[in-house]
Amino acid sequence: MGASPIHLVVMAYDVAISSCEKQDFTRATRAITILRDALNFDYAEAAVGLFRLYQWCLDCIRQGDYNAALQTLRELREAWATVEKRYMPLTPPPAYAPATVAGQSA
């Protein structure tokens, strides 16, 4: 079973944050661009707000201000991690349920 969509978002933030900490321009901009391009504009209010934040982070990185981008990315990552903890089950459901015969486990 693969990672949930929310966990993939958190992982993308981890890459963006790590890349900003290392001041790795290419990797940081790629990670933020992936986050930006994955936005679902069917939910316009949230998507537009995130789009603007991602663009701002990209502008900061282009200007060499990795710390400003880092602060925003860390706050956004924390929000997504909170959503993941709140709405995702702690343990995945079993792939199958054991068959029972006349009330006994198989």
Q: Domain spanning 5-89 has what CATH number?
A: 1.20.120.340
Query: Collapsing DSSP states into helix, strand and coil, what is residue 86?
Result: helix
| Cα 81 from Cα 75, distance rounded (Å) | 10
pTM for this structure?
0.79
Q: Report the chain's C-alpha Rg in angstroms.
A: 19
pLDDT of the chain along its 106 residues, tens only?
588 889 999 999 999 999 999 999 999 999 999 999 999 999 999 999 999 999 999 999 999 999 999 999 999 999 999 998 988 765 555 555 555 555 555 4
Q: What's the pLDDT at 2?
A: 81
Delimit the domains of the chain by residue range. 5-89
Are the C-beta atoms of residues 32 and 16 closer than 8 Å to each other?
yes
Q: What is the 3-state secondary structure (H, E, C) of 61-80?
A: HHCCCHHHHHHHHHHHHHHH
- Longest CA–CA span in the chain (Å) reads 70
| Cα 1 from Cα 40, distance rounded (Å) | 24
